[in-house]
């Protein structure tokens, strides 16, 4: 898949997965995102990098926050944005995915941001688009959510700086989480000291340890002395059986409360890719508490997506100082 993500000169063309990407590229994405953080604070929240380009948000799954931040990121780069309403599109009327893509290509668009319930959908589209079109994976099945992982890495770097001494706990439904898989790849690539996966046996994949994580089934033990806690939403829409006795029991064993968080380091940050379910995976006292950086994740998501859109569309380069004015 990595060959597909780069052009003949080795520059980023598509962004489909973190798996197999090098540390230098991940750092370059974060550095480029850093240069975009000031744009949102400007009186005129736009830079002209992608003026004249057309980006299509092709969301086959419902999403509010991810699609909104992609749309804002594209507009702040001065691109034209088309949000395709799948519920009323020709695809819903029986047109094949490739026919939909071909029709959009005929309208001379430049990029697709794809979210789909099937793993590999973004990869499939990237294999079939015209050479000038880039594809960004906005989340596919259980497989990957690479832009969410990068905005989480950016948030961690902003608060903790160096990745190498960190212990990071990913808590909850790792089995069904595309975010967790992308985060595990990113954290290991960036060289954190320890990545932990914490959750009930039914929600931890059998191959978890081969992914490079240390598995815990006791929350207190899993949170001991960690620097970063990443809570996951229960992915009930992807569960086909009885993975849990009840949400009440799940919260009692794996819900993050202030008492549970006390096992982590005092300055540990708490993250969540959202949407959060208060009283199911996280207590409101933690979600709104001093350790929470959940809303900062949302803010940083725009800058990180601006970085990825611009790097893919402009063949890997970041903005110059003049272009940021």
The pLDDT-based confidence of 323 (bands split at 50, 70, 90) is: low
- Res 23 pLDDT > 60: yes
Distance (Å) of CA 250 to CA 20, 111, 201, 213, 308:
34, 41, 12, 22, 36
pLDDT(242) > 60:
no
Q: Is the pLDDT reported for residue 139 higher than 60?
A: yes
Residue 248: pLDDT band with limits 50, 70, 90: confident
Confidence of residue 197 (pLDDT cuts 50, 70, 90): very high
Calpha distance 142→118 (Å, rounded): 8
pLDDT-derived band at 247 (thresholds 50, 70, 90) equals: confident
Phi, psi of 233 (to 5 degrees): -80, 145
Give the up-direction half-sphere exposure of residue 48: CA atoms within 13 A in the CB hemisphere: 4
Neighbours of 325 (CB within 10 A): 10
Q: Is the peptide bond before 317 cis (omega within 30 degrees of 0)?
A: no
Does position 211 have pLDDT exceeding 60, yes or no?
yes
pTM over 0.85: yes
Quick one: pLDDT band at residue 201, thresholds 50, 70, 90?
A: very high
Q: What percent of the chain has pLDDT over 90?
A: 74
Identify the bridge partners of residue 194 per DSSP, sorted by sequence position.
Answer: 167
Is a pLDDT exceeding 70 seen at residue 239?
Answer: no
Average pLDDT in the 144-151 region?
97
Within 10 angstroms of residue 155's Cβ, the number of other Cβ atoms is: 24
Which pLDDT score, from 0 to 100, does residue 235 have? 73
315 pLDDT above the threshold of 60: no
- Position 88 scores a pLDDT of 64
Sheet with strand 134-140: strands edge to edge = 80-84, 54-59, 111-116, 134-140
Find the length of the chain: 325
pLDDT, residue 14, reads 96
Distance between CA atoms of residues 28 and 44, nearest Å: 26
Q: Are 228 and 268 in contact (CB under 8 A)?
A: yes
Runs of H (alpha helix) within the chain: 2-5, 23-36, 65-76, 97-105, 121-128, 146-160, 178-189, 219-223, 247-254, 258-261, 284-287, 294-313
- Range with lowest mean pLDDT among 16-30, 148-162, 205-219, 227-241: 227-241
Name residue 171's beta-bridge partners: 198, 231
Contact assessment for residue 144 and residue 181, using Cβ atoms and an 8 Å cutoff = yes
* The pLDDT of residue 249: 87
Q: Is the pLDDT of residue 48 over 70?
A: yes
Is 216 in contact with 197 (CB distance < 8 Å)? yes
Average predicted confidence (pLDDT) for the chain: 91
Residue 204's CB: how many other CB atoms inside 10 A? 21
């Amino acid at each position: 898949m990595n060959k597909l993500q780069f052009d003949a000169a080795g520059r980023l063309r598509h962004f489909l997965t973190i798996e197999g990407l090098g540390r230098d590229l991940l750092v370059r994405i974060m550095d480029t995102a850093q240069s975009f953080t000031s744009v949102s604070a400007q009186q005129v929240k736009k830079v002209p990098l992608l003026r004249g380009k057309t980006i299509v948000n092709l969301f086959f799954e419902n999403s509010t926050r991810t699609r909104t931040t992609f749309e804002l990121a594209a507009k702040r780069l001065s691109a034209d944005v088309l949000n395709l309403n799948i519920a009323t599109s020709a695809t819903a009327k029986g047109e094949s995915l490739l026919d939909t893509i071909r029709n959009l290509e005929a309208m001379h668009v430049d990029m697709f941001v794809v979210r789909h319930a099937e793993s590999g959908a973004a990869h499939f589209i990237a294999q079939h688009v015209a050479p000038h079109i880039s594809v960004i994976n906005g989340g596919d099945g259980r497989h990957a959510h690479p832009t969410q992982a990068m905005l989480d890495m950016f948030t961690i770097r902003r608060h903790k700086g160096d990745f190498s001494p960190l212990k990071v706990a990913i808590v909850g439904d790792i089995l069904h989480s595309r975010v967790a898989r992308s985060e595990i790849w990113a954290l290991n690539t960036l060289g954190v000291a320890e990545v932990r996966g914490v959750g009930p046996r039914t929600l931890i994949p059998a191959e978890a340890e081969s992914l490079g994580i240390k598995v815990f089934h006791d929350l207190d033990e899993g949170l001991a002395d960690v620097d970063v806690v990443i809570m996951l939403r229960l992915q009930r829409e992807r569960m086909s059986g009885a993975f849990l006795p009840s949400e009440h029991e799940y919260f009692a064993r794996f819900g993050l409360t202030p008492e549970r968080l006390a096992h982590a380091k005092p300055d540990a940050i708490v993250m969540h890719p959202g949407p959060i379910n208060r009283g199911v995976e996280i207590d409101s006292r933690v979600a709104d508490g001093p350790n929470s950086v959940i809303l900062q994740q949302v803010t940083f998501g725009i800058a990180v997506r601006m970085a990825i859109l611009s790097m893919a569309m402009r063949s890997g380069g970041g903005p110059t100082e003049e272009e940021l004015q």
